[in-house]
Amino acid sequence: MATKPAGRSKKNPGRTAKARTRKNPARPSASRSTKQKPARPLTRREVEELRRFLEAEQVRLNEELEAIEERLPEVEQVGMDASGSYDEDLVDVASDTFEREKGLAIENSVHQLLHQVEEALTRVEKGSYGICQVCEQPIHPDRLRALPYARLCIRCKEREERALPR
């Protein structure tokens, strides 16, 4: 009569449970999330291509800024000089101000984009283009093709977004 070994699976239950909840940051290779292969650095040719794209983008954004500035309505100062029937003027000014605010908001975002493009071009000059500014690992070429002015790899970007206060 053979007795089956019972209760063999109950080995230090408390210890294993504890070990599982604790992540070990000292072993990066332990986290194999397979969907992210380690990125290879860009080839010179790829950097060249992206640089040309960034330069074209810089030109385009500058033109866009000029166009926005031309369209921005001038907001006249409404003088409060006594005799005025300035009611109608105020309505005009209000709508002009609204248009202007809208225009300025767009201008602002174009400015920011232009700034990012220019920074990326600076990194091309310095030879640090395509390198994550946080972990200093190569940024995946696919990511750079999608977002040529990316300064962080996707992991660091996600981490940064999680850390941002809402």
The least distance separating Zn ion from the CB of residue 52, rounded to whole angstroms, comes to: 25
**Residue 156, interface with Zn ion (CB under 5 A)?**
yes
- 110 and 60 Cβ atoms separated by less than 8 Å: no
Using CB under 5 A as the binding rule, whether residue 147 contacts Zn ion is answered as no
Q: Which is nearer to Zn ion, 48 or 158 (CB)?
A: 158
Does 131 help bind Zn ion (rule: CB under 5 A)? no
Q: How far is the CB of 35 from Zn ion (least distance, A)?
A: 16
How would you classify residue 74: left for phi > 0, otherwise alpha for psi between -120 and 50, otherwise beta? beta
Query: For residues 93 and 51, is the Cβ–Cβ distance under 8 A?
Result: no
Nearer to Zn ion, 121 or 150 (CB): 150
The CA-atom distances, in angstroms, between 121 and each of 54, 56, 68, 147 are: 7, 11, 24, 13
Which of 94, 122, 135, 160 is the binder for Zn ion (CB under 5 A)? 135
Q: Among the candidate windows 67-75, 84-92, 98-106, 134-142, which touches Zn ion by CB under 5 A?
A: 134-142
Distance CA 154, CA 20 (A): 26
Residues in the site for Zn ion, rule: CB under 5 A?
132, 134-135, 153, 156
